[in-house]
Amino acid sequence: MAKFFSRRTTGLMAAAAASMLVLSACSSSGSDSASDTIKVSLITKDQTNPFFVAMIKGAKAKATELGVELTVASGKEEGDEAGQIAAIENAISAKHAGILITPMSVNVNSAITKAREAGLYVIALDTPTDPADIVDITFATDNCEAGQLIGQWAAKKLNGQKATIALLDIFDDRMVSVDYCRDNGFLAGMGIDVANPKIMGDEAKTGNYSGGAYEIVGNIATGANEEGGRTGLEKLLSKNKKINVVYTINEPTAAGACAALKAAGITAVVVSVDGGRAGIENVKSGCIGATSQQYPLKMADLGVQAIFDFIKNGTKASVSEGLDFFNTGVTLITDDPQDGVASEGADYGIQNAWG
């Protein structure tokens, strides 16, 4: 089983609440009674990552359309579970109808359960909870599929060369679904046996992938940001300068990895997940070989609509067939298509990019 490191969330909640970034996008439905206005909280992991900026934009647009009063809150940074817990507590106290949340980890599960027990309709966006039924429903990318697509592409791109792999994840002190699903999905797509799909780093470090031999230099936590991607890959390159495949958790991390490769004078296949405008521009420039595009505005749009429909008429959203969440879709974007791996070009990616 994965080990989750606990945090002293109770003691941190007051400080996190004080420093929390809170925005309001209020759009009155025109009713004279405040009780007629549906109030919803969107709680993201942070408000600086372009992915969450796009998600906030999508939620605000739908809230304005429906006359929903939207409060946006977040932790200070990736990993700030106390900030998310404080935001959940605030939504309960304010008697909001529902919460949309990109959950940081299982450490926010108890707070989510408390919200549901208080009568709030809770929806996860982007990051499925573990277990899935902690929330009412999740709207997310199939992150396992996203990882598999870039893994399949990378295996084909290598064309039988030995794969010397660097894995740039979010965390190294906990296991969260976005992290392990993309990482292990990538390895599975490469044709590498994954020991436990919910644990990163327990696969054999050497062996064979679908095209030949492989060696995993290591997993390293980056915080899912550009600086973490740069310093993380620098550390792995100091161990092995033959790295020729770099998996990155997202496109900011990939940008940092590209900077590290350029500084070291090393060429490698870099793959990622996101599909933001800056990331697709990095596909066009050649920094990123392929990325799996996801759709955060759609997640947020569907989430706000689902809470509105539930409050107005009791209708509950349904999961996609065969899954325990609603799949908002994923598309592999590359300007170097490989046989047998479905993809679209960077121009398509730009047309459908967020951010």
Residue 82 is predicted with a pLDDT of 96
Query: CA dist 231 to 241, 282, 287, Å?
Result: 14, 19, 17
The CA distance from 88 to 73, in Å, is 9
DSSP codes joined into one string, 292-326: EE--HHHHHHHHHHHHHHHHHH-----PPTTSSSE
Name the DSSP class of 241: T
pLDDT tens track for 138-189: 999 999 999 999 999 999 999 999 999 999 999 999 888 999 999 999 999 9
The pTM assigned to this predicted structure is 0.84
Parallel/antiparallel/unpaired status of strands 290-293 and 331-333: antiparallel
Q: Assign 35 a pLDDT band (cuts: 50, 70, 90).
A: low
The CA distance from 124 to 138, in Å, is 4
Residue 176 is predicted with a pLDDT of 87
pLDDT tens track for 242-284: 999 999 999 999 999 999 999 999 999 999 999 999 999 999 9
Average pLDDT over residues 212-228: 97
Residue 174 is predicted with a pLDDT of 86
- Look at residue 324 and tell me whether its pLDDT is greater than 60: yes
Residue 22 is predicted with a pLDDT of 38
pLDDT tens track for 94-107: 999 999 999 999 99
- Look at residue 31 and tell me whether its pLDDT is greater than 90: no
Residue 207, strand partner residues: 214
The CA distance from 303 to 68, in Å, is 12
- Look at residue 83 and tell me whether its pLDDT is greater than 80: yes
